Structure 1
């Protein structure tokens, strides 16, 4: 496992990391979380991603309980959370990035995570109803207070990220250092084109999510939606149509042949492809079972095998279907 700087920030994160979206509470209890996080740690992972909204706060509670049991030195682990959707109804409690919500939401997340601070705090989505300046001041104040060490954004447009960075620069505030976008073989344009100027201009790092396109790139949905899979869960049924997309599932058949030539699985190939991008600081992986964690972690051995010739084969298969 290699470690990469988070953009131009000094923080280093493992090139593969572990996230709790969908799985913690919905598919994994504290015991399972401890086992999977420990397995990721044993493979060199130091970054563990979460969010306030995941399982309505229960994901943070499970990760907090797992961290307590694992007893890792705090200086060795990087933990994140994200804010926007909120946990309660109310004009200042849901779908907002106003100052009141953000500072109170951070207090709640720290309690659930059993932590004094998080390493990364993200604005989980942009908020068109709150001035970006207000959000930037609130996030910068979180860092000043020591509740977060760095802050960033998730699924913001390039223009919104640049606006936030310029406001922080103008007022000598803590700047956003990281963006967390979806990035995989079928979802690429934002990372590869829209954000292209941000890496050099603003020093933004990326902690990308969904390297397997919610499981589609594992090949498990080629014959429909299996029981117990993410696509079968009640709270993620909205994913079903894209998971059984026929052209993309047909492409996974071709990708699997490339993976076999490299001596790896389809999932490992897809994860390694994301990590091959030099602008990606870390690829967030997810799993509901211990075996999946162990399989995913082996993707680090595949990165070096992605020669220009192999990349060209992958492009021929996936580029026409990528958005």
Structure 2
């Protein structure tokens, strides 16, 4: 397993991370993802560690804390062998202070996550979303206190826009607070918006991408094809409207290109889609999900080899879209001064 620096930090992470959104399966939404119990999670983590995958990502909002509980139980007795990342910001109750990134909520959210995970520190703690109601100075000073207390080691963000990241970094530098080193972001062959602004920002500011849903919300498994109904077991029946939108013809065009590369490489479509993401600029680690051992082993096969430049170009061409303004303008009339990230 290859390890990479997490952004501009001294922290190294494996290029694949196991996501725990399938753990516990509480509620209709997460129940559609999976319902992995402690015994199953323990087996999946055993396989991960055998392959050098040591990082596991969760969030307090996954199954209302259930995913963290299952993860904590599954890594009990081997905390020193794993890296844990988790997130907070989303609602965890009905009270007015049970949501957001206020000092009140973050302090309690971290303590609750530590208890569920059965640990006294979190390797990477990320804000699950931007909180425009809470002053950024309050957010950063709270994270600084949590770092100084040894409860979290590194900080990151998720689902932020570019200006929100930059304003946070500017205030962190001004006041000497910890800088974000990770951006947990959506990025896939059928979701390349990350390249327009957040990728150049990551290159410039030293923020590593922790990629979520690299298979495009489960659409790049090879099961979705022209003229074929969505498989009965697919979680898309219940979750498609909650994830990133994708036009059918665009999806099929990308799948056609993946089919061609699959024939050339002898790899599966998910392995190719994951390998493509792994070769992109700023990417530190890619979060894979697995409802069973077979899916996990297939995803682990995405490392240890690389697509050729020609194969990458084929996939790039099939998945290319026109950026929104001002990025189409920058890449068109002023491309010499605004080159694509490499």
Q: What TM-score results when the alignment is normalised by the length of structure 1?
A: 0.91
| Aligned mates of 2:43, 2:297 — CA distance in 1 | 11
Q: Report how far residue 173 of structure 1 moved.
A: 1.4
Q: CA deviation at 1:237?
A: 5.1
Q: Is the 8 A contact 1:215 1:221 kept in 2?
A: no
The answer for the alignment partner of 2:264 in structure 1 is: 261
Provide, for residues 151-198 of structure 1, a one-character-per-residue CA deviation record: whole Å limited to 9, x for no partner: 1100111111111111111111111111100010111122x2202443
* TM-aligned CA distance change 1:183 to 1:322, over 3 Å: farther
Does 1:91 pair with 2:96? Answer: yes
User: What is the aligned residue count?
Assistant: 314
* Residue pair 2:103, 2:142 contacting (<8 A) in 1 also: yes
RMSD of aligned residue pairs (Cα, Å) = 2.0
- Out of 275, 285, 288, the position equivalent to 1:285 is 288
**Alignment equivalent of 2:298, drawn from 282, 290, 295:** 295
8 Å contact from structure 2 (residues 3, 14) kept in 1: yes
Shift of 1:250: 4.5
Aligned partner of 2:212 among 184, 209, 213: 209
CA contact (8 A) 1:182 1:210 kept: yes
Change (3 A) 1:244 1:278: closer
Unaligned runs of 5+ in 2: 26-30, 325-342
CA–CA distance in 2 between the matches of 1:253 and 1:35? 34
Structure 1 residue runs of 5 or longer lacking an equivalent are none
1:209-288 correspondence runs (5 A):
209-222=212-225, 223-233=228-238, 236=239, 238-239=241-242, 242=245, 245-288=248-291
2:102 is the counterpart of 1:102: no
Q: 2 CA distance for matches of 1:203 and 1:317?
A: 29
1:25-70, CA deviations, whole angstroms, 9 ceiling, x for partnerless residues? 33211111111122122111111000000011101111111111xx
| Residue range with higher mean Cα deviation, 52-61 or 171-180 | 171-180
Shift, 1:132, TM fit: 1.2
**Equivalence for 2:9:** 9
The CA deviation at 1:224 is 2.7
For normalisation by structure 2, the TM-score amounts to 0.86
> Structure 1 194/38 Cα, relative in aligned 2: closer, same or farther at 3 Å?
same
2:194 corresponds to 1:157? no
Structure 1 partner of 2:189? 185
Where is the helix percentage greater, Structure 1 or Structure 2? Answer: 1
Q: Does 1:127 find its partner at 2:131?
A: yes
- Quote how far apart the aligned CAs of 1:23 are: 4.6
- Aligned CA distance change for structure 1 residues 239 and 73 (closer, same or farther; 3 Å): closer
Distance 2:310 2:244 in 1: 32
Contact 2:9 2:181 in 1 (8 A): yes
**Structure 1 156/186 Cα, relative in aligned 2: closer, same or farther at 3 Å?**
same
Runs of 4+ with >3 A deviation: 239-244, 320-323
Partner of 2:318: 317
Map of 2:78 onto structure 1: 72
Contact kept in structure 1, 2:172 and 2:178, CA below 8 Å: yes
Alpha-carbon contact 1:186-1:322 (below 8 Å) kept: no
Task: Name the residue aligned to 2:328.
Answer: none
Separation of aligned partners in 2, 1:217 and 1:189: 17
Measured after TM superposition, the shift of residue 242 of structure 1 is 4.5
